[in-house]
Structure 1
Amino acid sequence: MFPLLREGKDEVAVYPCKAESLKPMDVVLFRYRGRCLLHRIVGMKDGRFIMQGDGVCAFYEECTAADIIGVLGMVYRVSGRAVSVSSLRWRILSRLWRSLGVFRKVGLCIFHRILF
């Protein structure tokens, strides 16, 4: 979920949810091929959820409602600051990042050079 979440630095709070309440742009924890992944819902098709991590540009995962463990509610930064995913800032950054489409790959390269 980089760049909005940083692996090994940020901590998250995941809350139980009902599949009917989930919508595109929600970030969920789900089971996929024996692993647990935290990805954004980018669409729904034939009763299945189509997921993609923010740091991924080329492929998607699919899961059913039974695979979803919970929905992201809070992000705790290493600084101690808590960020609600329902905040205006989080929603704007999420939509802006997703709207970059194929240009996200360039953005990821820039972020990696700056931060690592």
Structure 2
Amino acid sequence: MNYAANAYARTSRSALTPREAESAVLLKAAQQLIGASHGLAAGDTKRLNEALSFNQRVWTILASEATADENPLPADIKQGIGNLGVFVLRSCVDTMIEPTPEKIANLVQINNEIAAGLQGNPG
């Protein structure tokens, strides 16, 4: 099992609901992106690429679980999550290739907004 899956599994075993666990993992990924962005001006892309890779793993798991046939979510919600997952994964790759503070901020915002929605705090 990879690092993201291990982190997700550890979080899931706690007293959190699945939605709270998903929210916590998204917030963790956002915090890693924020922390890694501070070294960007100095040319430190290693930490950023690690944070982006973690974010990719988190979104791969979230999108895979949300779009699974056995998931009871309505089809339009599944499709929306799947589309958002593809967008995030592409954005991570694009940010690895050409990192900018704006691209990182967009990924952080997406994670924070989805995490807030999972916690019942939309917007």
Report if TM-score (shorter chain) is over 0.5: no
The structure with more helix, counted as a fraction of residues: 2
TM-score where L is the length of structure 2: 0.26
Instruction: Determine which structure has greater relative contact order: mean sequence separation of CA pairs < 8 Å that are 6+ residues apart, divided by chain length.
Output: 2
Q: Which has the higher strand share?
A: 1
- Structure 1 length-normalised TM: 0.27
